[in-house]
Chains A and B, each alone.
Chain A
Amino acid sequence: MIVLKERFVMYFRCTFPPATPALEFAAVMPVISLTVNGNPVTVDVEARALLSRVLRDQLDLTGTHVGCDTSQCGACVVHVDGKPVKSCTMLAVQADGENITTIEGLAKDGKLHPMQEAFRENHGLQCGFCTPGMIMTAVALADENPELDEMSVRKGLEGNLCRCTGYQNIIHAVLDGAKAMRS
């Protein structure tokens, strides 16, 4: 990673090359096709656009939250091909051809998903900012592990930060939600 070191030096000496290449490249915008919450969509995106940004700003799916934008908090978690990923840490072009589920895709026919219902019942949220990411992570966790216990829920939620609840009720909610998903 010598390149990274050189960049680091450039960063501090403020000797960035001018951003003109960016403008040239912007002329050839990639087109990507995704399935989002069951619906096929085709969008023009900048190569550098994050999946989180395309979902929120171009597809108007603002349920996916951006908390830190630095891969730490998990508010932006969505499912790509059924697996939870941080949408702020994935380029939209990398998701070309994939099946994406966001928090908006969980409720069916006006009825909350069992995990959403469990968060409501267990007071698993306060301000609600972390909740979409928590729920997307929790749904995948419950899908992958038929036998969840408190420790596996805590480990499974390591990448999701909540500044309000103190986590206790989130853990209760995930355990309850997982049970409801199985029944």
Chain B
Amino acid sequence: MYDFTYHRPETLADAEKMFADADDGQYIAGGQTMVPVMKQRLAMPSDIIDLERISDLKGISRDGNVLSIGAMTTHAEVAGSGDVAKAIPALARLADDIGDPAVRNRGTLGGSIANNDPAADYPAALVGLGATIHTTSREIPADDFFTGLFETALEEGEVIVKVSIPVPDKAGYVKFPQPASRFALVGVFVAQIGDSVRVAATGAGPCVFRVEAMEKALEKDFSASALKGISVPGEGLNNDIHASADYRASLISTLARRAVAAAE
């Protein structure tokens, strides 16, 4: 890892200014992606701006039917939150199955979605629940936030402040974990809000995506059997030593049925 200048601002305004003043600045949250990436010299920032001390980025709250989670909230905090468990139990369990306890104690929601790893869990939840990502300059619907492999709608220097999530009637998430890393080989998040249903798959393609054919079928009949015969073509899906594209496609169907059955 190359050396850098380390900053620990206490306000968002300071963080953005430090970023703007740096030659090649980069934010750090839990560091569970950033530190390994810097070790491999895939990133060599001149300045690291730590978001840890910024209190505006922390905390979980519920206001009516909207759950808000600050960007710097760790996976362990989401997993252990009574508010989350009550509003969206599937989300609490998703957080509890990310990596391992040490990763969950450092890794954050904001870091996970900013990184947009194709196999990350949170993108499936945010797209599946129709969440909104609030940044220092705007509000971005989850559908428009995750734009491609490790790519998001975030502009240079823009900081994710929090996400707001509508509380669904029912939601379920099931992943087939990659046995070594626990990342999702494939994961499917299903949520029913009023008459509308959303189905989001992660791990399968270069970036999280919705499965509209499944959404339509579930809007008519929210049951695992309604998904019978609906499949996603393997073409364009990830194909690597861990799983072929066709296997991932078949996992989407299986996991979607299980997610519906598990939804509560």
B158 at the interface (CB under 8 A from A): no
- Cα A133 to Cα B117 in complex, Å, equals 27
| A11 with B41, Cβ < 8 A, contacts A84-B105, A90-B31 known | yes
Q: Are B150 and A84 in contact (CB under 8 A)?
A: no
Cβ 8 A contact of B43, one of A3, A26, A160: A3
B interface residue numbers (CB < 8 A to A): 1-6, 8, 23, 26, 28, 31-32, 35-44, 46, 48, 50, 52, 76, 99-103, 105-106, 114-116, 150-152, 180-182
A30 at the interface (CB under 8 A from B): yes
Q: Which residue on chain B has the smallest CB distance to residue A77?
A: B102
Task: Give the number of residue pairs across the A-B interface with Cβ within 8 Å.
Answer: 115
A65 at the interface (CB under 8 A from B): no
Q: Which residue on chain A has the smallest CB distance to residue B46?
A: A21
Distance in angstroms from A137 CB to nearest chain B CB is 6
Q: Are B102 and A159 in contact (CB under 8 A)?
A: yes
Residues of B near A90 (CB, < 8 A) are 31, 35, 106
Q: Are A4 and B42 in contact (CB under 8 A)?
A: yes
Residues of B near A71 (CB, < 8 A) are 32, 35-36, 103
Residues of A near B23 (CB, < 8 A) are 21
Residues of A near B6 (CB, < 8 A) are 30, 47, 91, 93
- Cα A11 to Cα B152 in complex, Å, equals 22
Cβ 8 A contact of A158, one of B46, B100, B151: B100
Contact with B along A141-180 (1 / 0, CB 8 A): 1000000000000001011100000000000000000000
A72 at the interface (CB under 8 A from B): yes
Residues of B near A30 (CB, < 8 A) are 6
Q: Are A4 and B37 in contact (CB under 8 A)?
A: yes
Residues of B near A84 (CB, < 8 A) are 101-102, 105
Residues of A near B38 (CB, < 8 A) are 48
A36 at the interface (CB under 8 A from B): no
A interface residue numbers (CB < 8 A to B): 1-5, 7-8, 11, 16-17, 19, 21-23, 25-26, 28, 30, 46-48, 50, 69-72, 74, 77, 80, 83-86, 89-91, 93-94, 96, 137, 140-141, 156, 158-160
Q: Are B151 and A1 in contact (CB under 8 A)?
A: yes
- Cα A2 to Cα B155 in complex, Å, equals 10
- Cα A16 to Cα B101 in complex, Å, equals 35
Q: Which residue on chain B has the smallest CB distance to residue A160?
A: B100
Q: Are B103 and A86 in contact (CB under 8 A)?
A: yes
- Cα A86 to Cα B233 in complex, Å, equals 39
Distance in angstroms from B8 CB to nearest chain A CB is 8
Q: Are A86 and B37 in contact (CB under 8 A)?
A: no
Residues of A near B39 (CB, < 8 A) are 69-70
Distance in angstroms from B168 CB to nearest chain A CB is 26
| A47 with B101, Cβ < 8 A, contacts A1-B150, A8-B42, A16-B44 known | no
